[in-house]
């Protein structure tokens, strides 16, 4: 690292600049620990500082995570250039799957590249291998669980994907020079209550929390989702690789003073904890860098003051099939009308579960459950008020997802999946763009024919709107949400 770069990184560290949180980690040679740039501990001298672009790189250099700023809570990144994008999509996939035993070759296959190319991308972006990155993901998740929950050490080891207590203890001691039980003794007394687990996920401020809650509340499916008292709640269903069905609930709130969200998870969902945390990050767009987005979109305010607001997030989805069905139901009808149809679908074909939480009564029907309905799909969905064409579209979506002809997961190439989507009868450009924006997390989707977009930018034609939006690449999804919010 050049000396001028070193001075810049140290200045950011000294200023506790939140814009660098998750992008920069500081190893302190005098203490042997590494910190986030927002750490509140005593400022070390510059000669004792070494700067890294990832927690994994700092740990491979021999540093232990700080117990004050807790690097496991740092927000992630969402770049758009090719090599960085591959590395970061791979990182998100590893974070999601770190509780499972999946090989790097399998991860690379899901990303559409070779494992060798994935290793090159990780070396370029993070200066570590995918295996080393995965190891840090598991260690930091375990540290989070040890600090914030009452889970036993063996439960922590299994939830974080170590496979055995011995393997967990050995690696934890090797990397952190500390046994897990010793860390627990040092942790704060406040823990999750019995029957659930509460963890914290960081984001980069500002974060328009109420705005994203309002968006989700308007579209919440009764029985499956609820928004109240400043929190988002929903039911959850996962099917494991062993064909085991797991049901439960989650609750997401905000800790404004910590620039973080709290995620409370039903204890029954512990075997799929890493997948749940990954989906929450996606649903609430925790990888967003609001300053980078605003730098590009600020010109929207030249059209109309207040058209773009710093801190706006793109609401993602927790269940991609649920979101895609909701998009199909919403074609050419009101948001309220689509919500009513979704509620009927859930009440008739959703799986009832006991949550003990008012308003959370069912999980959304899975693709397999839709395909299992006997006879023409219109006979089942028609009485609910769903037209025959939309019923057939929902059935074809379920079939394509079950047969893996479509993939809405984090690691996909959205442009390719959108082309496949538009080959499904009943899926046009608006629906494909909407699904890409919310289910696949594509930052550059743009719904130029959308009623709200046209209303916010009237009297321009759709072609004029599309031409105007070229200046907003690669953040047109954020431009779309800003336009909706403006109305």
**Residues labelled as active-site residues:** 35, 450
The Cα–Cα gap between 208 and 308 comes to 12
Count other C-beta atoms under 10 Å from residue 193's C-beta.
10
Q: Give CA 378 to chain center in angstroms.
A: 34
Distance in angstroms (rounded) separating the CA atoms of residues 298 and 73: 29
Which residue, chain included where needed, has tokens 């704060």?
A: 188
The answer to whether residues 95 and 278 touch, using CB atoms and an 8 Å cutoff, is yes
Q: Backbone phi, then psi, for 332, in 5-degree steps?
A: 65, 20
Task: Taking each helix axis as running N to C, give the angle between helix 273-283 and helix 82-97, from 0 to 180 degrees, rounded to the nearest 10.
Answer: 140
Phi, psi of 212, rounded to the nearest 5 degrees: -75, -35
Distance CA 114, CA 112 (A): 7
| Contact assessment for residue 180 and residue 169, using Cβ atoms and an 8 Å cutoff | yes
C-alpha distances (whole Å) from 367 to each of 325, 350, 389, 417 are 10, 11, 17, 18
C-alpha radius of gyration, the chain, whole number: 23
> Sign of the C-alpha dihedral, residues 290, 296, 300, 305?
positive
């Amino acid at each position: 690292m050049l000396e001028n770069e070193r001075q810049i990184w140290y200045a950011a560290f000294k200023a506790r600049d939140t814009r660098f949180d998750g992008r920069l980690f500081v190893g302190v040679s005098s203490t042997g620990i590494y910190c986030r740039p927002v750490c509140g501990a005593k400022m070390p001298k510059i000669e004792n500082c070494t700067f890294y672009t990832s927690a994994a790189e700092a740990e491979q250099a021999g540093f232990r995570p700080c117990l004050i700023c807790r690097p496991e809570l740092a927000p992630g990144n969402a770049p758009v250039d090719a090599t960085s994008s591959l590395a970061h999509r791979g990182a998100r996939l590893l974070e999601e799957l770190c509780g499972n035993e999946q090989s790097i070759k399998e991860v690379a296959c899901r990303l559409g590249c070779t494992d060798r190319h994935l290793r090159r991308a990780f070396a370029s972006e993070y200066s570590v291998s995918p295996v080393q990155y995965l190891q840090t993901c598991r260690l930091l998740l375990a540290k989070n669980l040890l600090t914030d929950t009452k889970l036993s050490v063996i439960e922590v080891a299994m939830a974080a994907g170590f496979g055995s207590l011995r393997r967990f203890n050995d690696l934890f001691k090797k990397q952190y020079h500390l046994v897990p039980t010793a860390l627990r003794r040092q942790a704060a007394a406040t823990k999750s209550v019995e029957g659930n687990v509460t963890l914290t996920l960081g984001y980069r401020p500002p974060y328009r929390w109420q705005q994203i809650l309002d968006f989700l509340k308007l579209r919440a499916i009764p029985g499956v989702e609820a928004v109240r008292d400043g929190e988002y709640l929903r039911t959850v269903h996962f099917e494991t690789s062993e064909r085991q069905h797991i049901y439960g609930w989650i609750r997401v709130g905000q800790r404004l003073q910590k620039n973080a969200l709290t995620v409370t998870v039903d204890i029954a969902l512990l075997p799929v904890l890493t997948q749940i945390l990954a989906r929450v990050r996606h649903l609430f767009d925790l990888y967003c860098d609001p300053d980078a987005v605003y730098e590009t979109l600020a010109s929207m305010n030249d059209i109309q003051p207040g058209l773009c607001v710093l801190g706006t997030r793109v609401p993602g989805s927790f269940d991609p099939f649920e979101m895609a069905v909701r998009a199909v139901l919403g074609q050419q009808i009101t948001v309220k009308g689509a919500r009513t149809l979704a509620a009927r679908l859930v009440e008739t074909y959703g799986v009832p579960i006991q949550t003990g939480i008012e308003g959370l009564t069912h999980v959304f029907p899975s693709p397999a459950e839709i395909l299992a309905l006997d006879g023409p799909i219109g006979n089942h969905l028609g009485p609910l008020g769903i037209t025959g064409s939309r019923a057939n579209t929902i059935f074809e979506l379920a079939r394509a997802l079950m047969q893996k002809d479509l993939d809405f997961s984090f690691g996909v190439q959205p442009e390719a999946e959108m082309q496949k989507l538009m080959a499904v009868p009943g899926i046009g450009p608006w629906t494909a763009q909407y699904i890409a924006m919310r289910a696949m997390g594509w930052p550059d989707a743009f719904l130029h024919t959308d009623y709200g977009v046209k209303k916010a930018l009237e009297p321009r034609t759709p072609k004029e709107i599309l031409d105007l939006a070229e200046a907003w690449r690669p953040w047109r999804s954020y431009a779309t949400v800003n336009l909706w919010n403006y109305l």
